[in-house]
Amino acid sequence: MTDTSGYHGVELLLHPTTNKSTAFTLDERERLGLGGLLPAQVSTMERQIERVLENLRRKESDIERYIALRVLQDRNERLFYRTLIDHIDELMPLVYTPTVGQACREFAHIFRRPRGFYVTPRDRGKIRANLDNWPAHDVGVVVVTDGERILGLGDLGANGMGIPIGKLALYVACAGIPPDRCMPIMLDVGTNNATLRADPLYQGVTEPRLPEAPYDALVDELVTALVDKWPGVLIQFEDFLTPNAYRLLRRYRDEARCFNDDIQGTAAVALAGVYSGCRLAERRFAELRVLFLGAGSAATGIADLMVEAFVSEGLSRDEATARLAFVDIDGLLVKSRSDLAQHNLPYARDDAPMGFLEAIRHLEPHVLIGATGAPGTFTREAIEAMSTLNDRPMIFALSNPTSQAECTAEQAYRWSEGRAIFTSGSPFDPVEIDGHRFEPAQGNNVHIFPGVGLGVWASSARGVSDAMFLAAARALADSVRTERLERGAIYPALTEARRVSAAIAAAVAERAYDAGLAVSPRPADLDAHIASLVYDPSYDDPQPTPR
């Protein structure tokens, strides 16, 4: 029976947390003042889902489907999440990548209803007071972006709010974090995108981005306010420009429960893919050599976690670092270069300068990882060179959205004569070559961050350590079923997201308990404890007070 929390009549239909629409029973309609407000037939949730899907499938474009799902989320929260969970294969590409890229480009033009919390320079000195306006009493997870590096699309300013909204929908759907504990935040500090500033429908600050000092002061006020308001809150930094991403992570990782998904989440997903790829290629992880194309926060974050993984396999830190090399737009990262960022310096090599293809032939990597945001950079020559060196070359084209991928799945399979172990950041359809079917799995961060968040919440961990992400990567790799590996898919199916997130949460919580980071005592049955926290979007369960 629905807990109406004092709401009555039409109010119940206007709040997404209490609205069941045509699923209110005849008894409920009589008791709750809904007589005459609904059509005669009482629907089940299953019948409502059928109607939702029918309407989605008749729409002509994915952006229209995205809008329809956002409207559903604002109208009937439980129906939105039940539909997303039960049909995640079909709907996740609409709720998140690749469609969220177009949604962010057009965010101001498709705006329907406010969702999330906005922080601007004019809010200096009152962010903590503004947080009291947020209707939920106990926020557990915040996803915050400043919109400067949205996917591979660049500076989208306040339009970047689509990213936190989408990420938090996946926290709920894939890990069961209750939606009333989720808070999307847009740190709107202006934009250097002149086209956006000139758009009369743009809704963000129409000034250039703040310089570093006032920018850092605003971020500091926000983080301080969040921790003061909700001391246990987990803060996920998302889609920040690389220098800011590293600076903010270093600044706050020991002061708050926080992580950067582009650095640490991407790293854990990629590492899990490499672990799985080693199973498929029958190669020892400790023997690998890895070449990165791109040297931003995502690539170096992957490398940093791989160093920890190599060290855990018995290599020294120097030996581990030597297994990893980077090429950026100016060629191989070598010590003779004077243009390297601080986070690149540990990976600068003693080699002579060289380009991408030459680096493949010289370094003979087993794994090629792309995090460039530049489509087509894994050329035929590059894939063929990797295939000459390896019976089963690992080709990871991780840039999002699909249009920005370094190569397509079909290119990787055709150019390697079907031998590539391929994954990408956004989804590709299965590929048929000479009667063989290849099913590439999406190396999306959704495999990691929901489970990490659930594990931090379950253990009340004081912080989020690199060791937790290492444990998460191993748990993700161990979750891949053998039959999927045999079809070339190195990640679990999205339909298993809740099972996989629970396994990752247990691994993360165990690491927190073992390291003395957990605030709550270790439960006798950790799996049961985690299961007890998971949100189920059912009409039968009492719901929180409407937000």
Residues 94-255, CATH architecture: 3-Layer(aba) Sandwich (3.40)
Angle formed by the axes of helices 77-86 and 62-75, to 10°?
130
Q: Which of 192, 190, 147, 138 is nearest to 165 (CA)?
A: 147
Where residue 542 falls among pLDDT bands split at 50, 70, 90? low
Residue 303 · residue 320 · CB < 8 Å: no
Preceding peptide of 98 cis, ω within 30°:
yes
What is the chain's alpha carbon radius of gyration, rounded to the nearest angstrom?
24
Euclidean distance between CA atoms 162 and 100, whole angstroms: 7
**Whether residue 7 lies in the annotated active site:** no
Q: Between β-strands 431-433 and 436-438, what pairing exists: parallel, antiparallel or unpaired? A: antiparallel
Expressed in angstroms, the distance from the first to the final Cα of the chain is 19
201-231 pLDDT per residue, tens = 999 999 999 999 999 999 999 999 999 999 9
Pairwise CA distance, residues 452 & 536, whole Å: 19
For range 249-260, the mean pLDDT: 96
Q: What is the pLDDT of residue 544?
A: 42
Whether 1 has a pLDDT exceeding 50, the answer reads no
Any residues with CB less than 8 A from the CB of 212 and at least 6 apart, and which? none
Q: Cβ distance 6 to 22 under 8 Å?
A: no
Token digits of residue 306: 């791989």
How does 143-161 read in b/e, with b if 16+ C-beta sit within 10 Å?
bbbbbbbbbbbebbbbbbb
Kindly give, in sequence order, each residue whose CB lies less than 8 Å from that of residue 11, ignoring residues fewer than 6 positions away: 18
pLDDT 10s digits, 105-150: 999 999 999 999 999 999 999 999 999 999 999 999 999 999 999 9
- Cβ atoms of 381 and 372 within 8 Å: the answer is no
Report the pLDDT value the prediction gives residue 457, as an integer from 0 to 100. Answer: 96
Crossing angle (nearest 10°) for helices 77-86 and 45-57:
70
Q: Which DSSP string corresponds to 113-166?
A: S--SEEE-GGGTT-HHHHHTTSS-S---EEEEE-SSS-TTS---GGGGGHHHHH
To the nearest whole percent, how much of the chain has pLDDT over 90? Answer: 92
Residue 395 φ/ψ, nearest 5 degrees: -120, 110
Region 469-489 average pLDDT: 95
Query: Can you give the pLDDT at residue 241?
Result: 94
381: Cα within 13 Å, side-chain hemisphere: 8
User: Which residue in this structure is represented by tokens 């087509």?
Assistant: 376
pLDDT at 543 over 60: no
Contacts of 379 (CB under 8 A, 6+ apart): 357, 407
Where in the chain are the domains? 10-93, 94-255, 264-444
pLDDT band at 4, cuts 50/70/90? low
Share of the chain above pLDDT 70, in %: 98
CATH no., domain 264-444: 3.40.50.720
**Across residues 32-49, what is the average pLDDT?**
97
C-beta neighbour count of 489 within 10 angstroms: 23
Residues whose CB is less than 8 angstroms from the CB of residue 36 and which lie 6 or more positions away in sequence, other chains included: none
Residue with tokens 């029958």: 282
Strand partners, 104: none
Same fold, 94-255 and 264-444: yes
Question: Cα 533 to chain center, whole Å?
Answer: 21
Q: How far apart are CA 120 and CA 158, in angstroms?
A: 10
Amino acid at 478: D
Q: What is the structure's pLDDT at 321?
A: 97
The whole-angstrom separation of Cα 248 and Cα 5 is 40
pTM of the prediction?
0.93
Beta carbons within 8 Å of 105's beta carbon, 6+ residues apart: 153, 156, 159
Please list, residue by residue across 456-475, b when 16 or more beta carbons sit within 10 angstroms of its beta carbon and e when fewer do. Answer: bbbbebbbbbbbbbbbbbbb
Ranges of beta strands (E only) in 415-494 are 421-424, 431-433, 436-438, 441-442
Placement of tokens 């691994």 in the chain = 507
Residue 230: its pLDDT value, please? Answer: 98
- Give the pLDDT confidence score for residue 203 in this predicted structure: 97
- Is-contact 494 92, C-beta < 8 A? yes
Q: How confident is the model at residue 247 (pLDDT cuts 50, 70, 90)?
A: very high
Confidence of residue 546 (pLDDT cuts 50, 70, 90): very low
Query: pLDDT at position 427, please?
Result: 86
Say yes or no to pLDDT of 507 above 60.
yes
Q: How far apart are the C-alpha atoms of 372 and 387, rounded to whole Å?
A: 21
- Cα angle vertex 304, ends 296, 167, to 5°? 65
- Which tokens go with 357? 């293809």
Region 367-375: mean pLDDT is: 94
Q: Residue 422 and residue 441: Cα distance in Å, rounded?
A: 8
Q: What is the mean pLDDT of residues 332-351?
A: 95
- pLDDT reported for residue 6: 72
Cα 388 from Cα 357, distance rounded (Å): 13
Rounded to the nearest 10 degrees, the angle between the axes of helix 266-281 and helix 297-312 is 50
Six token digits for residue 266: 């991407």
Cβ-based neighbour number of residue 139 at 10 Å: 19
Which one of the listed residues 7, 167, 171, 215 is annotated catalytic? 167
Q: Please give the DSSP secondary-structure letter assigned to residue 540.
A: T
Of the candidates 462, 460, 375, which has an alpha carbon nearest to the alpha carbon of residue 425?
A: 375
What pLDDT score does 2 carry? Answer: 44
Q: pLDDT at position 545, please? A: 45
Catalytic, out of 7, 66, 81, 96: 96
CATH match of 10-93 with 1.20.1370.30? yes
**What's the mean pLDDT in 443-466?**
96
Q: What is the pLDDT of residue 541?
A: 58
Average pLDDT over residues 431-442: 90
Span of 2-6, 64-68, 490-494, 503-507 with lowest mean pLDDT: 2-6
Q: Is 167 a catalytic residue?
A: yes
